[in-house]
Structure 1
Amino acid sequence: MRIAFLTAPQGVEQVELTDPWQAAVDAGHEPVLVSTKPGKIQAFHHLDKADSFPVQEVVGETSADSYDGLVLPGGVANPDFLRLDEAAVSFVGSFFEQGRPVAAICHAPWTLVEADVVRGRVLTSWPSLRTDIRNAGGTWVDEQVKVCDHGPNKLVTSRKPADLKAFCETFLDVFAKEAG
């Protein structure tokens, strides 16, 4: 299975990128780092710079057709940058239009709000997003992991880095069933 990991050039929470990435590799899948610009992305440990990672594909030069699923790592700045990029928002929306599974953790649902895909869905996130999710027509719940199958695709969401083990297990299981 080929899985897109969409991040902005800066601001992604490193562990929310690397743990799901490694889980996908360990499960025999091909993760692909997609960003809004070529080069490298700069990850963070909260507000401190962490490692950088090479971009494999640029969002405006690829499409959801090339992937079996999408993972949106969090970090406070990452989804805020993504939701200002029309190509990134369109890329996210196309996974929903095509019925492909999507997984988002922590602050990543901000990008889902911008793509107007949370209406009628139940999801979780970092608690500060609950009002944004509700205002966008979604239902926010405080759960470690939430799987929502409202609409043509499955959406897996999680709250924070402490939930990563459950998030990774759940999104890999959902993606495998959807690809199956």
Structure 2
Amino acid sequence: MRIAFLVAPEGVEQVELTEPWKAAKDAGHEPVLVSTKSGEIQAFNHLDKADTFPVDEVVGDTSADSFGALVLPGGVANPDFLRMDDKAVGFVRDFFRQGRPVAAICHAPWTLVEADVVRDRVLTSWPSLQTDIRNAGGTWVDEQVKICEGGPNTLVTSRKPDDLKAFCEAFLDVFARQAG
């Protein structure tokens, strides 16, 4: 399955990109790095610059139709940038409209809030997002991983880098069920 990993040109938390990417690849999926600009993205280890990664596709030139699922890595700046980009928000919204599974970790649910897709959903995130999620009509829970199967698609969310192992296992299981 082709899996879109949507990130901003800079600000993604590196481990929240690389660990899910590796898990998807090891499970036989085709991860695709999608960003709002071509070239490379700049990842971060918290607030320090880390590695750069080549962009495979630009969000304005691709669509949810060409992917089986979406992963939204976190980092504070990454989703904040994405939620200000209409094409990125529309790209995310299209996965929900098409009933395709979505996985988001840490601060990534900010983009979900902007896409107006958390209403009546139960999810987790970095704790500072709980008020935003509640104000957008979602229910926030403090759990390592939350799988919400209500609504148009399955949504997998997780809180932080310490939860990555459980996050990867959960989204791979959900994606496999959706593909099967």
TM-score past 0.5 threshold? yes
TM superposition outliers: structure 1 runs of 4+ over 3 Å: none
**Shift of residue 17, structure 1, vs aligned partner:** 0.1
**Shift of residue 152, structure 1, vs aligned partner:** 1.7
Question: What stretches of structure 2 of length at least 5 have no aligned partner?
Answer: none
2:48 counterpart residue number: 48
2:134 counterpart residue number: 134
The CA distance in 2 between the partners of 1:18 and 1:83, in whole Å, is 21
Q: How many residues align?
A: 180
1:169 counterpart residue number: 169
The CA distance in 2 between the partners of 1:175 and 1:151, in whole Å, is 16
Matched, 1:121 2:121: yes
Matched, 1:30 2:27: no
CA offsets, 1:125-168, max 9 Å, x none?
00000000000000000000000011120000000000000000
CA offsets, 1:74-131, max 9 Å, x none?
0000000000000000000000000000000000000000000000000000000000
The residue type paired with residue 27 of structure 2 is A
Matched, 1:64 2:48: no
The CA distance in 1 between the partners of 2:10 and 2:150, in whole Å, is 31
Question: What stretches of structure 1 of length at least 5 have no aligned partner?
Answer: none
CA offsets, 1:2-41, max 9 Å, x none?
1000000000000000000000010010000000000000
So what's the TM-score if we normalise by structure 2?
A: 1.00
The CA distance in 2 between the partners of 1:10 and 1:152, in whole Å, is 30
The CA distance in 2 between the partners of 1:164 and 1:88, in whole Å, is 24
Structure 1 SS opposite 2:52: strand
After superposition, residues 92-107 of structure 1 pair within 5 angstroms as 92-107=92-107
The residue type paired with residue 130 of structure 1 is Q
The CA distance in 1 between the partners of 2:78 and 2:173, in whole Å, is 25
2:157 counterpart residue number: 157
The CA distance in 2 between the partners of 1:128 and 1:118, in whole Å, is 16
The residue type paired with residue 36 of structure 2 is T
Percent identical residues: 83
So what's the TM-score if we normalise by structure 1?
A: 1.00
